[in-house]
Amino acid sequence: MIMENLDFQPSIIHKIYDFYKEMHKKIEKFPKTSRYSLGQKIENSILDLLETIYLANIQIKTLREPVLHKASAKCELVKILIRLAYDTGVIDNTSTYVSAQAKMQEIGKMLGGWIKYMRNAS
């Protein structure tokens, strides 16, 4: 496998990185009963998403699209987990929830644009 773009990091990586830092601070404030279950799952899912996006970035172009689809599924999972945290009262601040969902929506759009670009480039 030939790796491309080792020095280039797309802006989506920075968005996910910043989102993780923000969510990490919020998860530290989760009730103890949820911090090590749902909170940990949210953190791990965001980290998995970051890792998958990074792997897609260094993948050769012909093999990149399937990795991007995997990242898209992980992105949707993060959205669901955040909604679950809100619906169960773990995230009790509506503005925190709306902000987190908006940021994940933006990341999802960036990812969708990358997938669309890859399809058109083929």
User: What band does 7 get if pLDDT is binned at 50, 70 and 90?
Assistant: low
- What secondary structure does DSSP assign to 72-112, as a single string? HHHHHHHHHHHHHHHHTTSS--HHHHHHHHHHHHHHHHHHH
The CATH number of residue 18's host domain is 1.20.1440
CA distances from 68 to 17, 33, 64 (A): 17, 34, 6
The pLDDT, as a whole number, for residue 2 is 41
The pLDDT, as a whole number, for residue 8 is 57
Residue 108 belongs to some domain of the structure: yes
pLDDT in tens, 18-67: 999 999 999 999 999 999 999 999 999 999 999 999 999 999 999 999 99
Residue 3 belongs to some domain of the structure: no
Residue 106 belongs to some domain of the structure: yes
Residue 15 belongs to some domain of the structure: yes
pTM of the model: 0.90
Give the pair of three-digit tokens for residue 102.
């908006």
59-63, 80-84, 87-91: segment of lowest average pLDDT: 59-63
Q: Which has more confidence, 113 or 5?
A: 113
Number of domain units in the chain: 1
Burial of residue 113 (number of CB atoms within 10 Å: 0-12, 13-18, 19+): exposed
